[in-house]
């Protein structure tokens, strides 16, 4: 723990004065306080309900764990995340944690953190790097498995179809969830000639862009059987576009989405979504647990994955507790 460097200047002068005059503090010595851990967290933005839930989970968890959180919002820009990480290094926080907005371009700043002996915890999204020692660990979802779950639902749901025309609305270009959710999905459907990916476009995980993508897809190809959307926010936009085009989401076009926000579960109940693959943002407690271990110099598992489920139109969802995001 690095808390000594954050001692108040007044307290430092008192220590110096005691040393100069040869005094040894006895009864007056205050009982030793456990040092507060400082975690620098660079959130990537506020693009979705999922992200807002994730931010809330992290802030609440830090408060409950007595961790001092330096929180920065990068507003969807990698350069802002890099700037925030550099400011955490300058401040000499105990641990740096962040969900990398994209997979590439992190080695330089992570080497700077390593040179400063500050452990880095990747949260939610992974990076591409040749040097896995640049981060101490990862905590988040298995996006490839989420993609496989989406593919497996589609396979079973379209068992009686001769041909299935799919529109994929992907997340942010070069982000781990966009790349891995596609990878897992294609792994399941590839090689089966009845499936055609008619369009695969990026909606950047945002509702407005999801709507724009869907409008364009419907303008270019009327005959779409399925929308596979990489997150709920884009799905809400796509549903709006489908309804405005006079079609019925969930009936004329099957809808598969990822995240599991409360609103997506409500739309599943209404029959406008057919399958929701869960991706939980509620990882704040785990982040704090791992950060506290890293600050104490303990080692952690390199990869910690959230346990997640799939909700479908066939499930009884009545007793499902509120999702909290």
Q: Does residue 50 belong to the site contacting ligand AHR (CB under 6 A)?
A: yes
Is the CA virtual torsion 53, 56, 61, 64 positive or negative?
Answer: negative
Residue 59, judged by CB atoms within 10 A of its CB (0-12, 13-18, 19+), counts as: middle
Give 229 or 274: the residue with its C-beta nearer to ligand AHR: 229
Quote the CA–CA distance of 136 and 294 in Å, as a whole number.
8
Q: Does residue 51 belong to the site contacting ligand AHR (CB under 6 A)?
A: yes
Phi, psi of 97 (to 5 degrees): -130, 140
Quote the CA–CA distance of 50 and 97 in Å, as a whole number.
18
Stretch that binds ligand AHR, among 44-52, 217-225, 238-246, 283-291 (CB under 6 A): 44-52
Among 258, 280, 246, CA closest to 205: 258
Quote the CA–CA distance of 274 and 227 in Å, as a whole number.
10
Stretch that binds ligand AHR, among 43-51, 112-120, 209-217, 263-271 (CB under 6 A): 43-51
Q: Does residue 258 belong to the site contacting ligand AHR (CB under 6 A)?
A: yes
Give 67 or 279: the residue with its C-beta nearer to ligand AHR: 279
Torsion of CA 53, 55, 61, 63, to 10 degrees: -130
Q: How far is the CB of 147 from ligand AHR (least distance, A)?
A: 11
Max Cα distance, the chain (Å): 91
Residues in region 143-202 near ligand AHR by CB under 6 A: 177
Give 158 or 235: the residue with its C-beta nearer to ligand AHR: 235
Give 177 or 250: the residue with its C-beta nearer to ligand AHR: 177
How many chain residues touch ligand AHR (CB under 6 A)? Answer: 13
Q: How far is the CB of 233 from ligand AHR (least distance, A)?
A: 6
In sequence order, which residues have a C-beta less than 8 Å from that of residue 169 and are 6 or more positions away?
Answer: 201, 202, 203, 210, 213, 214, 227, 228, 229, 230, 234, 235, 238
Q: How far is the CB of 153 from ligand AHR (least distance, A)?
A: 17
Stretch that binds ligand AHR, among 48-56, 105-113, 267-275, 310-318 (CB under 6 A): 48-56
Q: Does residue 57 belong to the site contacting ligand AHR (CB under 6 A)?
A: no
Q: Which residues bind ligand AHR (CB under 6 A)?
A: 47-48, 50-51, 124-125, 177, 205, 231, 233, 258-259, 279
């Amino acid at each position: 723990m690095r808390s000594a460097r954050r001692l108040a200047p007044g307290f430092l002068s008192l220590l110096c004065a005691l040393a100069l005059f040869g005094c040894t503090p006895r009864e007056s010595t205050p009982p030793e306080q456990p040092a507060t851990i400082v975690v620098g967290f660079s959130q990537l933005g506020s693009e979705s309900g999922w992200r807002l839930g994730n931010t809330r989970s992290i802030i609440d968890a830090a408060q409950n764990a007595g961790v001092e959180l330096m929180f920065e919002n990068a507003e969807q820009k990698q350069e802002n995340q890099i700037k925030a990480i550099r400011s955490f290094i300058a401040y000499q926080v105990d641990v740096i944690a962040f969900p990398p907005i994209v997979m590439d371009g992190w080695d330089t700043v992570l080497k700077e953190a390593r040179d400063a002996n500050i452990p880095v915890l990747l949260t939610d999204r992974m990076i591409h790097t040749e040097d896995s020692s640049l981060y101490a660990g990862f905590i988040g979802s298995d996006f490839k498995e989420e993609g496989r779950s989406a593919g497996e639902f589609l396979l079973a749901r379209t068992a009686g179809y001769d041909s299935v025309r799919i529109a994929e609305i992907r997340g942010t270009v070069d982000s781990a969830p966009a790349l891995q959710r596609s990878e897992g999905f294609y792994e399941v459907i590839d090689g089966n000639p009845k499936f055609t990916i008619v369009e695969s476009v990026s909606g950047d995980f945002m509702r407005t862009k999801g709507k724009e993508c869907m409008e364009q897809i419907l303008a270019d190809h009327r005959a779409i059987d399925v929308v596979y959307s990489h997150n709920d926010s884009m799905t809400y936009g796509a549903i709006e576009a489908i309804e405005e085009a006079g079609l019925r989401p969930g009936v004329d076009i099957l809808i598969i989405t990822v995240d599991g926000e409360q609103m997506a579960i409500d739309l599943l109940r209404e029959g406008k979504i057919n399958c929701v693959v869960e991706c939980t943002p509620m990882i704040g407690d785990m982040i704090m647990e791992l950060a506290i271990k890293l600050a104490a110099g303990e080692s952690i598992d390199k990869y910690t994955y959230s346990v997640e489920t799939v909700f479908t139109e066939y499930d009884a969802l009545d007793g499902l507790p509120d999702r909290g995001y």
